[in-house]
Structure 1
Amino acid sequence: MLATLPAGSRPSRPRRIRAGLTVSALALLAGCGSADRPLLPNLAGRTLDDARTAATAAGFTALTSRDLLRARAQLVASNWRVCTQTPAAGPVDGDVTVELGVVKTDERCPGDDTGLPELVGETLPIAEDAAREAGFPRFTSHDATGERLRLDEQDWTVCTQTPAAGTTDREVTVDVGVVKSAEPCPGETRAATSSAPTTTASPRPAPKPAPKPQPNPQRGEDRDDGDDSGSGTDRRTSEPDPDPPSKPRSGQSGHPCLPGERDGDNDGFCGEGR
């Protein structure tokens, strides 16, 4: 016997379960299943203070950090950058201790390059810094020619290095042989240099011949007047001396000779005895 519906009523339709609701429910159930394993974020590349904040916000409160290049304390966290993290990013037990490997923000992480760089030719401080920045914290040096102390490391230059450049084993100890910067490396010859300017001696001029003696134009030369009587008189060929010696006057009076007057006794006075 068929049931009849009241006038004006409609038959009810079966309800459909939406697929979206079903997927949401499954995701909720999956999330509840991993609630005891929080997700550790990727911290590599962040500054140390930022990495600590992100890890703490994710539920990880046990955090440690260590310098990957040398044993330096991380006093200012913003000056350090995260290179490695243990454990890796992903679901991790909440009570695990997260260890972060860090370097200074201006340094390279170990493994960022091809290994130990070439150190030969560098000064000792630069070589040590380059090795440590490349991830080789164990570094020693020795005098390549003796047992001298290296008090001022800036004055020493690297001649040899062990191991060779390109080594990637960062557990080895890097050892360099050094000499004074002004010295050649063992087995190497270096031309001596001087800071003083070089001078070239100029040739000496040839000595000039001594001048030949010339007759004195004031005195002239004595010559014989050709008198063979033995009472010859020497005469001057040049002008008389400007200041002839005074001669005794022969007269009782007179005056200095004027031009054209005859000086009979050659004493420079004329008109004597008049």
Structure 2
Amino acid sequence: MPEIVGERLDVALSDIERAGFDEEVEVLGGGTFGVLDESNWTVCSQEPVSGEEITSAPRITVDRSCKGDDQGDPEAAESDEAADDQAVAAQRKKEKKRKQKAVAAVSDTFVMPALVGMNLQEAQNRLQARGSFLLTQTDGTGQERFQMLDYNWKVCGQRPAAGTVTDVATLVELVAVKLSESC
């Protein structure tokens, strides 16, 4: 299991998938309306802990920020500030490493997964976990609608085809319709 505490939820899910776990991850928290945009949530705790083998669905607890509730205690506030400074420094270091890996991975290839029938958001997550970030989405009905909430759409077609060895710099097209519509 990778270290994901302090990561944005979208990045954490991608890291878990890159570690070889392709099934559903249990996400706890998310407020009244749940997790609508994974990039707006921060991972506060994880099970299993970093370095342990993933034997069942990982459990992630998320919140907008992961601060304790000891605001009235000045010593705790100073400790929180120091911890925040360390977290920011660690986050910057991780981002720098991630960018370096992204630059090094430009010429990498991957085998295009079968995405037809899958939820559009999940399909995007699978591609991004493989280093493919050049994505375009097309309305499968020809109405040229925008896919505002990707989890409300399903994939009806994809280019390149499943099983194709694809360069991460290739533009991937996902043709999608709303969940209630037929392909």
> TM-score of the superposition, structure 2-length normalised?
0.41
Of structures 1 and 2, the one with the larger relative CO (CA 8 A, separation 6+) is 2
Q: Which protein has the larger Cα radius of gyration, Structure 1 or Structure 2?
A: 1
Greater helix fraction, Structure 1 or Structure 2: 2
